[in-house]
Chains A and B, each alone.
Chain A
Amino acid sequence: MEDALLKIKGVSKHFGGVYAVNGVSLEVNPGGICGLVGPNGSGKSTLFGTILGLHKPDQGEIYFQNEFINHLPPHTIYERGLVNAFQIPRLFYSLSVMDNMLVAARGQEGDRLFNSLFLRGRWQKQEKGLIEEALDTLEIIELEPWAFTPAAELSGGQRKLLEIGRALMARPTLLLLDEPAAGINPVLGKKIFQKLKALSAAGMAIFVVEHRLEILFEFASWVYVMDKGRIAIAGEPQDIIDNPDFYAIYLGEE
């Protein structure tokens, strides 16, 4: 398809002699949730890191909105609207929950040295709107009562929620999520996916790694299965479930 949001062509990444990602090609289309599953060590997180610009691919090409992004530094890729939430939360722990949210907003006027000192009116006005937006998102992830406490005081599950909420503050065009439902109670996990589904219906594309297959298969519209650094199977959730190879890869059954 020509208008795929994210296009990956033959990307490989090796660490030493080990190919973590080996000739992966895939596409993520705008709108909808696209899943990526596979056993541990199959290269999912490395693939995400490569898309984000954290690792430069050894081979292959990555296009985002038809722009070649292999060579771009991570912060530029972020400004393009390709946003990530880590599997293990990497919050700014001494900052408040609110500040963690505000840091993530894209295109802030006050992010520049000159503006922060001399165009104070401009960013303060923007900041006011961002705070409202942050409070709304915090309400959804049930963190609003903690808005002004340091992130370090949150529980494990809450940290995970903040990691996702923070990514949403950037109003991503494409959101990469690494196991959003892991470590969160099942009810809230499902609620998050419902919210993601609503966001994707509103135009945000989501590319998600998830081991909780029952949740993922309910919401995803397309799923890639990775094994040993390669894409082994791709298809709609129902096709994946019906494919006997999938069980062999995932559960190690012969």
Chain B
Amino acid sequence: MDPLLYVLDLIVFIGIFGIVSLSLNLEFGFAGLANFGKVAFFLIGAYTYALLSQAGIPFYLCLIASALISAIFGLVISLPALRLRADYLAIAILAFGEILRLIVKSEDWLAGGDWGVTVARAISITGASHRVDALINIGLVYFCLLIFFVIIQLLANSPYGRAMRAIREDELAAEVMGKDRTKFKAQALMLGSAMAGVAGGLYAQYLHCVLPGMFMPMITFTVWIMVLLGGPGNNWGVLLGATLVEVFERGTNIAKDYIDLPVDPSNLQYILFGALIIFVLLYRPQGILKESKIRSKAQRLAFNGRRSAKNKGS
């Protein structure tokens, strides 16, 4: 296989999973919601995109629809789920993801069941090589990633993000300090689901198809590893986490062609991931990068003003 294409393909995957980890960072890193059903919204986005693009709707509308429909599902599931305690919430959403996958798998009329649906490329140029095709995808994926990154970064450094972090720290105290915790959590879940939905749409069109087997719970756990490894509460951190995990995953797949082992290294991956997550949680629970501080413009000014005053005084 063309080695350059391999790298381009890796870059596309980092972008798509970068979006999903940013969305989990919003939900878990900032709002403290243990969403163990990330793959559900990824699936909804992918199938929405696939079915609409099959109906001949232009790709950008399909992506917007993926975002909207995932967001609606996020909101709907948040209504009953947010009444649950954090650990039950995690289990409830995890089950939701599996149920969705089994529905699309067994209901053939919906989206081809096990055979899935073939998806057309978002932007296809006739006669373009695979490399050009990958480059177009990189442009599309990173355009979306940039938009979401800016949105979350702005939110994280606003009073809204501060209220979210306060709810994560102590729900009850935040509620008594005037923050409507149910509203904040529902919005976080909605926004996070919309982002995961767009990532799903991009994934579907990049892989040319959607199949139930593409949405195993392992996707959720991989995204969790990205976030925990990179640093929850730090947007740069989770992107770094996404990059490291993708490179690692690809790396072990390549390594198997060169290293002779009695077992298949791609099966070892899961064991290594497990070991990695235990290692991170034990020795660096805050992840590679620490949580970013809240820096609104006014705060930065006050902070810098104080520091310069202190320097003058000493």
Contact = CB atoms under 8 A, between A and B. Distances in A.
B298 A131 contact: yes
Contact of B299 (A52, A91, A112, A131): A131
A78 B163 contact: no
Interface string B280-310: 0000000000010110111101110010000
Contacts of A147: 306
Which bracket fits the contact residues of B?
Answer: 35 or more
Interface stretch (B77-85, B133-141, B172-180, B240-248): B172-180
Contact of A127 (B176, B177, B296): B296
B115 to A, nearest CB: 40
Nearest to A121: B297
B155 A127 contact: no
27 contacts: A74-B176, A75-B176, A75-B178, A75-B181, A86-B173, A90-B170, A90-B172, A92-B166, A95-B162, A96-B294, A98-B299, A99-B162, A99-B294, A102-B162, A104-B177, A109-B159, A110-B158, A111-B159, A111-B160, A112-B160, A113-B187, A116-B155, A117-B155, A117-B158, A124-B298, A127-B159, A131-B299
B187 A95 contact: no
B87 interface: no
Contact of B160 (A96, A99, A110): A110
The 7 A-B pairs at the shortest CB distance, nearest first, are namely A110-B159, A116-B160, A78-B178, A116-B158, A90-B173, A92-B169, A128-B298
Nearest to A84: B176
B185 interface: no
Interface in A50-109: 52, 54, 73-75, 78-79, 84, 86, 90-96, 98-99, 102-104, 106, 108-109
Contacts of A127: 159, 296-299
Interface string A159-184: 00000001000100000000000000
Contacts of A106: 178
Given A98-B299, A116-B159, A128-B298, A103 B180 contact: no
Given A111-B179, A124-B298, A128-B298, A92 B154 contact: no
Interface of B: 151, 154-155, 158-163, 165-166, 169-170, 172-181, 187, 191, 291, 293-294, 296-299, 301-303, 306
A123 B170 CA distance: 24
Contacts of A93: 169
Contact of A103 (B151, B174, B299, B306): B174
Given A54-B172, A84-B176, A131-B299, A96 B163 contact: no
A168 B285 CA distance: 34
Of A84, A110, A170, most buried by chain B (CB within 10 Å of CB) is A110
Nearest to B154: A117
Contacts, number: 110
A247 interface: no
B176 A54 contact: yes
A147 B298 CA distance: 14
Nearest to A176: B176
B303 A111 contact: no
B176 to A, nearest CB: 5
Contacts of B166: 92, 95, 99, 103
Nearest to A134: B302
A233 interface: no
Contacts of A54: 172, 176
A166 B160 CA distance: 17
Given A116-B154, A117-B154, A135-B302, A111 B297 contact: no
A52 B178 CA distance: 11
B159 A94 contact: no
A117 B302 contact: no
Contacts of B174: 92, 103
Nearest to A98: B299
B199 to A, nearest CB: 20
A135 to B, nearest CB: 7
Interface string A182-217: 000000000000000000000000000000000000
Contacts of B173: 86, 90-92
Nearest to B150: A117
B178 A123 contact: no
A108 B184 CA distance: 14
Given A78-B177, A91-B173, A116-B159, 14 more contacts: A54-B176, A73-B175, A78-B178, A79-B178, A92-B166, A92-B170, A96-B294, A99-B294, A111-B163, A112-B160, A113-B187, A124-B298, A127-B298, A148-B306
A117 to B, nearest CB: 6
Contacts of B163: 103, 111
Nearest to B178: A78
A115 B155 CA distance: 10
Contacts of B176: 52, 54, 74-75, 78, 84
